[in-house]
Chains A and B, each alone.
Chain A
Amino acid sequence: MESNFVQYVVQDSGILIEAALIFYLARTSKWRGQGAVAFYLSSLVVGQLTRACFLHEYGLTSLRYYYAYWSTDFLLVMSAFGVVCLFFRRACWREEKIWRLIRIFLVFLLVLVAAISGVSLSLNRHDFFTYFLVAFNQKLYFTCLVLNTLLYLMLHRMNSADDQLELLVCGMGIQFAGPAATLALVHLTYGGRFAKWLAYQTIPLCTFGMLLVWAYVIVYVPKTAGGLGRRDPPLRPVPAELSKL
């Protein structure tokens, strides 16, 4: 009972934070500058409200909620992939050549994930939902995790001046990495009960953590003006002989 209560509190708080952030973005006219953030938050609100309706109507253990949950997860994972792509675009704002390469790579990855999921569907044609939709979700989720990590490394490598983007990417990292780590634990313990329980608790908590980070970023961290350039390299010290001239 207490566990259920905590779950509902996390769920409702998450939806409230998402709605509040969308309202804040709209009210402060930051909507235009934060298109990717607004898009993802809107997807989260739509997906989670649908899930909440099914949950309250049919209950946690019902088959309808199960289908509603994993169907809306498709929407959310696709949105997450879109957001990671938009973050890549923002990171490469002044690097058109790099962006062209990355764009091709991202499209290739999406097609590859769909193709691999298609193979598992071809082996099990009787169950489209489990063998394509859910398999596609899981694979695209891990693709997003890897891409997000690459983006973070790229931002450091480029010495980006966009602090806001770095924090947004960190927030996405919390959302992706937590469940992936607990999944690794599940496999290491060969599907242990505790590991599975932990995996199920981690998913909502990590998304909640991501929302808190994003709330901090949106409200307190200003977007770098003009943005997206690199930090100026530190000035080299002038040698003593030259300074005398």
Chain B
Amino acid sequence: MKNLVLMFLLAVLVVATASSLWRMFVATATIDGVRPLVAIGTDPVPPFPPPPKPPKPTK
């Protein structure tokens, strides 16, 4: 019984991780924008810069 519960939890974890990674891959391939969240190095990660202001409409 214990093993069954553990296997179920493990399966949920694997599926959740896989779906999240897949979503991330799909998200970066679309035009929604890239939000980098993984990197290498011991340096503090810089926050995202504010999005550029849209150009004013010309009359």
Q: Are A15 and B31 in contact, with the CB atoms below 8 A? A: no
Interface, chain B (partner A; CB < 8 A): 16-17, 19-21, 23-25, 28-31, 33-34, 36-49
Q: Which residues of chain A in 49-69 are interfacial with respect to chain B, using CB atoms and an 8 Å cutoff?
A: 51-52, 55, 60-63, 65-66, 69
Which residue on chain A has the smallest CB distance to residue B46?
A66
Q: Are B49 and A124 in contact, with the CB atoms below 8 A? A: no
Q: What are 28 pairs between A and B in contact, CB < 8 Å?
A: A14-B41, A14-B42, A44-B40, A44-B41, A55-B43, A61-B46, A66-B46, A76-B39, A76-B40, A76-B41, A77-B40, A80-B40, A116-B29, A120-B34, A138-B28, A138-B36, A138-B37, A183-B37, A184-B16, A184-B17, A186-B20, A187-B24, A196-B37, A200-B37, A203-B38, A203-B41, A207-B41, A208-B42
B54 to chain A, nearest CB (A): 13
Bound CA span A10–B43, Å: 7
Q: Which residues of chain A in 118-142 are interfacial with respect to chain B, using CB atoms and an 8 Å cutoff?
A: 119-120, 123-124, 130-131, 134-135, 137-139, 141-142
Summarize B's interface: helix, strand, loop or mixed: loop
Hey, which chain B residues are within 8 Å of A13, CB to CB? 42
Q: Are A65 and B41 in contact, with the CB atoms below 8 A? A: no
Interface, chain A (partner B; CB < 8 A): 4, 7-8, 10-11, 13-15, 44, 47-48, 51-52, 55, 60-63, 65-66, 69-70, 72-73, 76-77, 80, 116, 119-120, 123-124, 130-131, 134-135, 137-139, 141-142, 175, 179-188, 196, 199-200, 203-204, 207-208, 211
Q: Are B38 and A11 in contact, with the CB atoms below 8 A? A: no
Bound CA span A120–B34, Å: 10
Q: Are A188 and B20 in contact, with the CB atoms below 8 A? A: yes
Summarize A's interface: helix, strand, loop or mixed: helix
Hey, which chain B residues are within 8 Å of A62, CB to CB? 46
| A66 in complex: contacting residue of B23, B33, B49, CB < 8 Å | B49
Bound CA span A120–B36, Å: 14
Bound CA span A44–B30, Å: 31
Which residue on chain B has the smallest CB distance to residue A77?
B40
